[in-house]
């Protein structure tokens, strides 16, 4: 067996089809199949089996795929140890983030890492469903992702570190009758029109929890993922919305109120493949992300106050 064959087995375990692996690795499906056959010849037990139309790993295949992660990490470290690449302080580091995190984290990264001898950033916004964030680690050194407090953990194929555990508040237009409340319950807001994210995105689970606790279906009138647009829609009277307390930009005509009775908090995590952190430049950017997160949370002065608008708690 060799490194390439182990990499293919690892990707097959995640993607579930030879075609998907071929697309991810930019080769033909026949080349992938050939490498899998060569790998199987060196192993005395089956590594793959059919499950309907999918190709899945057997227990032996899963064990070898898990070992492949360690092998790939070790080989990456070995290569980097004998090259200047590992300790190159100004290498390029690619970072992807969902929209509100990009707005909050990209500016401090650009400011703190400016100048000679610092990593060269390649930034990108990626607005994807929760299950797609780990996939992005194939294309980016670091991926800033989010999931709800009670959501399943990220897969073990990636390293995850928490940057923030951010409260989600109810956003209302200034002058709304509920804006005078210090906090809101699901029953308070269940009969209001709502602006939510699209299905499959993490915040929908909290929306569903609000409806469950209030024992009624919410009237969802708009589907908008970008919080800057959500804030404008809320300010214009389009409905209530869930907004992150720290990473969404304040709007002068919108107030935030804490939500009681449901788990309303999200993890903002940074994901990467184990071998990526072998590079000094990546570790530098990772450290700066944690510093930026501490600064963002440090601006929190507590729950939003009735007359403070969205700037409270930000």
Contact between residue 202 and residue 151 where contact means Cβ atoms under 8 Å apart: yes
Model pLDDT, residue 79: 72
Kindly indicate the confidence band of residue 85, based on its pLDDT and cuts at 50, 70 and 90: low
How far is 73 from 258, CA to CA, in rounded Å?
A: 43
CB 63 within 8 A of CB 6: no
For CA atoms 242, 196, 208, 174, the dihedral sign is positive
Higher pLDDT, 149 or 312: 149
Q: What is the pLDDT of residue 155?
A: 93
- pLDDT for the residue numbered 301: 54
Task: State the Cα–Cα distance between residues 20 and 26, nearest whole angstrom.
Answer: 10
More confident residue, 60 or 87: 60
Q: Closest Cα to residue 276, out of 165, 157, 164? A: 157
Q: Cα(288)–Cα(121) distance, rounded to whole angstroms? A: 12
pTM beyond 0.75: the answer is: no
| pLDDT at residue number 73 | 85
What are 170-183's pLDDT values in tens digits? 999 999 999 999 99
Share of the chain above pLDDT 70, in %: 93
Residue 308 is predicted with a pLDDT of: 36
CA distance 76 to 187: 54
The mean pLDDT value for 147-154 works out to 87
| Whole-number average pLDDT of the chain | 89
Domains of the chain by start residue, with CATH: 3-81 (1.10.10.10), 92-164+266-298 (3.40.190.10), 167-264 (3.40.190.10)
Mean pLDDT of 159-163: 96
How many CB atoms neighbour CB 23 within 10 A? 13
Q: Any residues with CB less than 8 A from the CB of 309 and at least 6 apart, and which?
A: 174, 250, 251, 252, 254, 255, 256
- pLDDT beyond 80 at 248: yes
- Residue 164 backbone phi and psi in degrees, to 5: -145, 150
- The better pLDDT of the pair 87, 2 is held by 2
First to last CA, the chain: 53
pLDDT at 311 over 70: no
Mean pLDDT of 104-125: 95
Mean pLDDT over residues 99-120, rounded? 94
């Amino acid at each position: 067996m060799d490194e390439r064959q182990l990499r293919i087995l690892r990707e097959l375990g995640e993607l579930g089809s030879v075609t998907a692996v071929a697309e991810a690795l930019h080769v033909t499906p026949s080349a992938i199949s050939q490498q899998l056959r060569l790998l199987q010849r060196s192993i005395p037990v089956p590594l793959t089996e059919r499950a309907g139309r999918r190709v899945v790993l057997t227990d032996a295949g899963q064990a070898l795929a898990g070992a492949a992660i360690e092998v790939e990490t070790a080989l990456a470290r070995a290569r980097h140890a004998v090259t200047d690449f590992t300790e190159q302080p100004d290498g390029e580091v690619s970072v992807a983030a969902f929209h509100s995190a990009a707005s909050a984290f990209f500016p401090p990264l650009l400011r703190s890492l400016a100048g000679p001898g610092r990593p060269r950033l390649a930034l990108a916004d990626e607005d994807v469903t929760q299950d797609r964030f780990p996939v992005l680690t194939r294309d980016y050194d670091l991926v800033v992702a989010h999931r709800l407090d009670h959501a399943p953990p990220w897969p073990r194929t990636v390293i995850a570190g928490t940057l923030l555990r951010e409260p989600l508040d109810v956003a209302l237009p200034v002058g709304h009758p509920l804006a005078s409340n210090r906090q809101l319950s699901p029953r308070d807001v269940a009969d209001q029109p709502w602006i939510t994210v699209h299905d499959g995105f993490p915040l929908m689970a909290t929306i569903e929890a609000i409806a469950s606790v209030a024992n009624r279906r919410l009237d969802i009138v708009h589907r908008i993922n970008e919080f800057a647009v959500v804030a404008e829609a809320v300010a214009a009277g389009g409905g209530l919305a869930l907004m992150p307390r720290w990473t969404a930009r304040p709007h002068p005509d919108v107030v935030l109120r804490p939500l009681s009775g449901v788990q309303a908090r999200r993890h903002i995590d940074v994901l990467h493949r184990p071998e990526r952190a072998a590079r000094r430049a990546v570790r530098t950017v990772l450290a700066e992300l944690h510093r930026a997160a501490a600064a963002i949370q440090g601006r929190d002065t507590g729950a939003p106050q009735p007359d403070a608008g969205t700037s409270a708690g930000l």
